[in-house]
């Protein structure tokens, strides 16, 4: 074998949102800073360090970086009436669409399943519950204000 351990009897039990993955890796990183032995163990595991770093770097640029547990729970409750599949709910949560065309691309057979008003209502729910990801310009202006 090439030194890589293969997982045994892995079964998919569900899907995770980007928010859940982001939270998990953030907590693992914070734990490693608090626990010296854990940090030393992680230092030896360069593959895991790379996965953690790359995952956090990517997810920091997505909507999950500014989502909260309460916001996600509210979103999940408010979209129940739309009859979306689990995969559609998750994709919307992960991408935070803002235009009807985005919803139509995510929801299978959206023309038959959702009216124009329902699509607009869904966008309203998304905008009310899921915070927008800060743009690079906003971050730069915030940093400029802090250094002034």
Q: Between 86-95 and 18-34, two packed helices, what is the crossing angle to 10 degrees?
A: 60
Phi-psi label, residue 109: left if phi above 0, alpha if psi -120 to 50, beta otherwise: left
Q: Which residues contact residue 58 at a Cβ distance below 8 angstroms, ignoring those fewer than 6 apart?
A: none
CB 69 within 8 A of CB 82: no
| Segment 21-38, tens digit of pLDDT | 999 989 888 877 676 666
Q: Which long-range contacts (CB under 8 A, 24 or more apart) does 106-113 make?
A: 113/83
State the average pLDDT for the chain.
82
Query: Residues 86-104: what's their mean pLDDT?
Result: 95
| Segment 56-77, tens digit of pLDDT | 999 999 999 999 999 999 999 9
pTM: 0.73
Q: Which CATH superfamily is domain 67-129 in?
A: RNA Polymerase II, Rpb4 subunit (1.20.1250.40)
46 pLDDT more than 90: no
């Amino acid at each position: 074998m090439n030194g890589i351990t293969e997982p045994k009897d892995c079964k998919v039990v569900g899907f995770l949102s980007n928010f859940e993955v982001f939270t998990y890796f953030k907590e693992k990183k914070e734990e490693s800073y608090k626990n010296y032995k854990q940090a030393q163990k992680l230092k030896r595991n360069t593959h895991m360090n790379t996965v953690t770093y790359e995952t956090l770097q990517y997810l920091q640029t997505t909507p999950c970086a500014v989502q909260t547990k309460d916001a996600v729970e509210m979103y999940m409750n408010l979209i129940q009436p739309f009859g979306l599949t689990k995969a559609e709910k998750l994709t919307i949560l992960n991408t935070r669409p803002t235009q009807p065309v985005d919803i139509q691309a995510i929801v299978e057979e959206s023309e038959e399943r959702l009216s124009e008003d329902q699509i607009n209502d869904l966008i309203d729910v998304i905008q009310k519950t899921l915070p927008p990801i800060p743009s690079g310009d906003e971050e730069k202006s915030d940093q400029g204000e802090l250094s002034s």
